[in-house]
Chains A and B, each alone.
Chain A
Amino acid sequence: DQQVKQNSPSLSVQEGRISILNCDYTNSMFDYFLWYKKYPAEGPTFLISISSIKDKNEDGRFTVFLNKSAKHLSLHIVPSQPGDSAVYFCAASTLSSWGKLQFGAGTQVVVTP
């Protein structure tokens, strides 16, 4: 039962442009969402998170938007840089199961010159 879904397995974007990664979830009890970036042969690196009481959180080039009614969140990366080429995972948890993350399948981002 996949409760967190990333329907785009890959995304190609030009350097300097915006990357938009999408994530949908089915469990309305999720109240904390995170994005991780993963390079080959490394563990996931935390990027940014958002609590369900907010609809936007920004950290430098990264902004996460949360639409609770649509059970949808997105990650915007502006401007995209070659070092952003990686697999991006969306993850979610509930307050009662804090720290136990459910992940999407990931989106491979390739930033081209």
Chain B
Amino acid sequence: ETGVTQSPTHLIKTRGQQVTLRCSSQSGHNTVSWYQQALGQGPQFIFQYYREEENGRGNFPPRFSGLQFPNYSSELNVNALELDDSALYLCASSRGQQGSNTEAFFGQGTRLTVV
């Protein structure tokens, strides 16, 4: 059983550019959530995808968008990058089911630096 993997591990982008981060969910998991972790803070929920549909969104602007593919892998896209977007981006997968809670398993993260 493979765990959650994210790519790339590190990335440097210029303000105003666009970036795509990728996540492969753990085998058997149909739900992927993305989080942003700024330095010294806990992860902040960006959005979640369940069976290829967005299933909830945190307090992030529309320039943060995502996709989930039929194999349940996922992408996070950020347009018009700002300096404050510099953070660790974490992907978490879980075996989601309406009306039940289950633990989420995280990838190692992508460290994005915007200069």
Contacts and interface: CB of A to CB of B under 8 A. Distances in A.
A110 interface: no
Contacts, number: 75
B48 A103 contact: no
B90 A101 contact: no
Interface residues of A, number: 28
Contacts of A105: 40-42
Interface of A: 4, 6, 31-32, 34, 36, 41-46, 49, 51, 89, 91, 93, 95, 97-106
Given A43-B4, A46-B105, A99 B43 contact: no
Given A43-B90, A43-B108, A97-B56, A31 B42 contact: no
A100 B56 contact: yes
B101 A51 contact: yes
A95 B101 contact: yes
A44 B90 contact: yes
Q: Select the residue from B42, B58, B99, B104 with max chain A CB neighbours within 10 A.
A: B42
A41 B108 contact: yes
